[in-house]
Amino acid sequence: MWPKSVALRKSAPIFAALGDETRLRLIALLCAGGALSISQLTAGSDITRQAVTKHLQVLADAGLVCDIKQGRERLWEFEPTQLDEARRSLDTIAQQWDQALSKLKSALER
């Protein structure tokens, strides 16, 4: 009855990481601005540096960003691979839905 798809288990953590406004903002910043340090990412926000650090860690665990140590700074940059994984997952769902719809339609027609 219940699907135990591996793809679902893989993509759920990615969606969970994306499911926070603050993290989506961080991703948007890193997409536009290239590699940024924690301080830079914190500047202008209304949360503390440590909160930003935690969010970055969540994104890193999901494979959406990666960090490069450079001197005393730690630069973060966007990593598009897992985002593509999420996109494929959504496409698959939409595809199955379309398929179910067309099956239903053809069943109604006969």
What type of residue sits at position 67? D
Q: Which does 50 bind (CB under 5 to 8 A by kind): its own copies, DNA, none?
A: DNA
User: Quick count: other Cβ atoms within 10 Å of Cβ 52?
Assistant: 21
Interface residue with DNA, options 18, 60, 66, 73 (CB under 7 A): 73
8 A C-beta contact, residue 106 and residue 58: no
Q: How far apart are CA 92 and CA 18, in angstroms?
A: 18
Which residues between 86 and 105 bind DNA (CB under 7 A)? none
Nearest approach, Cβ of 11 to DNA (angstroms)? 14
Nearest approach, Cβ of 18 to DNA (angstroms)? 10
User: Quick count: other Cβ atoms within 10 Å of Cβ 65?
Assistant: 23
Q: Which strand ranges, in their side-by-side order, compose the sheet holding 73-78?
A: 36-37, 73-78, 65-70
Nearest approach, Cβ of 95 to DNA (angstroms)? 25
Q: Which listed range, 2-10, 47-55, 82-90, 93-101, lies at the site for DNA (CB under 7 A)?
A: 47-55
Structure tokens that stand for 38 in this block: 């924690």
Q: Which does 80 bind (CB under 5 to 8 A by kind): its own copies, DNA, none?
A: its own copies
Q: Which is nearer to DNA, 19 or 109 (CB)?
A: 19
